Amino acid sequence: MTFPNFLSVVRIILSPVFLLLFSAQDFNLKAWGFFVFIIAVLTDWYDGWHARKYKSITNFGIFIDPLADKVLTSFAFYFFYISGIMPLWMLIIIVTRDIFVTLMRSYDDYKGMTMNTSYIAKTKTFFQMTYIFLVLLLLLYLSRDMNTGYSSVIQSFLYDSVLNYSLMSLITLITLYTGIDYLIRKQYNKY
């Protein structure tokens, strides 16, 4: 197993660890969960950089790297759902799309064809990770139990704002679009 592929596997393993720690009521455990999420995101950046620099790109890596991203984001979005931030329909669309694309990619790999990740799918992952990072940071701030004026503004943004709902909707629609894009590219053999 190449080093970049190892990092992708580590990212998958870190995903439930992140969820478990960030779900805790204790601020210190939640902070550790946030740290684990940051480490997982950094492995995503580093494994891609390392694979390109040292020419260790493999078919397994082309499959496992985006899968690891999907696992990490799915755990985060699931946390947002159970926390009352994200509605169920958004979670279902995102996770269903990710399962669908993963199954398509697995089938293609089995048939000896590799479907490369599209630019729009990479952009989608960047937007997802950025949004998740910001929301986790705000939730970490809220868990610090500081009763400042910012706390009510953050809570309002996360749970009641049109802006946050619009951001989540945009991410959900981009995610859905990338699933449709994969299906179209597959149908026309545009790998």
Tally the domains of the chain.
1
Question: Could you tell me where the DSSP H helices lie in the chain?
Answer: 3-22, 27-53, 59-82, 88-110, 119-143, 149-160, 162-187
Helix (H, G, I), strand (E, B) or coil at 116: coil
Residues 6+ apart with CB under 8 A from 29: 21, 22
pLDDT per residue, tens digit, the chain (191 aa), is 899 899 999 999 999 999 999 999 999 999 999 999 999 999 988 988 888 888 888 878 878 888 899 999 999 999 999 999 999 999 999 999 999 988 888 788 777 777 777 889 889 989 999 999 999 999 999 998 667 778 889 999 999 999 999 999 999 999 999 999 988 887 776 55
Instruction: Yes or no: say if 10 and 71 are a contact pair by the CB < 8 Å rule.
Output: no
pTM of this structure: 0.90
H or E, element range at 111: none
Q: Which two tokens stand for residue 131?
A: 């949004």
Domain encompassing residue 155: 3-187
Can you give the pLDDT at residue 191? 52
CATH number assigned to the domain comprising residue 158: 1.20.120
